[in-house]
């Protein structure tokens, strides 16, 4: 998906100048912004770390296990930081990043065991 800087800024609820600053690294986006752009299809792992999210070729059961674990990790993190309020948008952004990371790890383990 290709979005212009203006379209991405609009999707994230910020001005184009803020979008430009995020892209240049002179400013950091908020969790609300990240959750908003994730809703329009932005791959957060790529946006934050320059790595594409894993393509999911795992079984439905493995995918469900990974999503459950990602949810548990988010809830554990939120519970361990009671001084900060994390809304649904923040939790969603964390969940997406964790799910993509756990999926990539599971696929790597699966391909390693298949290779040897």
pLDDT tens by residue, the chain, 116 residues: 688 999 999 999 999 999 999 888 898 888 888 888 888 888 777 777 676 655 556 788 888 899 899 999 999 999 999 898 888 888 888 888 898 888 888 888 877 777 76
Tell whether 32 and 66 lie within a shared domain. Answer: no
Q: In the 8-state DSSP scheme, what is residue 7?
A: H
Tell whether 61 and 113 lie within a shared domain. Answer: yes
Both tokens of residue 58? 């795992």
CA distance 110 to 22: 36
Tell whether 57 and 114 lie within a shared domain. Answer: yes
Tell whether 58 and 97 lie within a shared domain. Answer: yes
Rounded to a whole number of angstroms, the CA Rg of the chain reads 16
Q: Which domain covers residue 59, as residue numbers?
A: 51-116
Q: How far is CA 70 from CA 41, 67, 96, in A?
A: 19, 5, 8
| Distance of alpha carbon 77 from the chain centroid | 15
Tell whether 79 and 25 lie within a shared domain. Answer: no
Domain count, the chain: 2
Q: How many helices (H) and strands (E) does the chain have?
A: 6, 0
Beta carbons of 61 and 94 less than 8 angstroms apart = no
Tell whether 67 and 33 lie within a shared domain. Answer: no
Q: What does the pLDDT read at residue 52? A: 67
Q: What does the pLDDT read at residue 54? A: 54
CA distance 86 to 91: 6
Tell whether 32 and 61 lie within a shared domain. Answer: no
């Amino acid at each position: 998906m290709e979005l212009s800087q203006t379209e991405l800024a609009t999707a994230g609820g910020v001005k184009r100048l803020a979008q430009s600053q995020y892209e240049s690294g002179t400013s950091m986006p908020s969790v609300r912004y990240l959750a908003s752009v994730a809703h329009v299809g932005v791959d957060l792992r790529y946006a934050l770390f320059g790595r594409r999210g894993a393509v999911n070729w795992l079984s439905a059961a493995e995918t469900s296990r990974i999503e459950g674990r990602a949810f548990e990790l988010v809830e554990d993190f939120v519970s361990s930081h009671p001084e900060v309020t994390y809304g649904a948008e923040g939790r969603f952004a964390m969940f997406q990043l964790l799910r993509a990371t756990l999926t990539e790890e599971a696929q790597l383990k699966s391909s390693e065991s298949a290779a040897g």
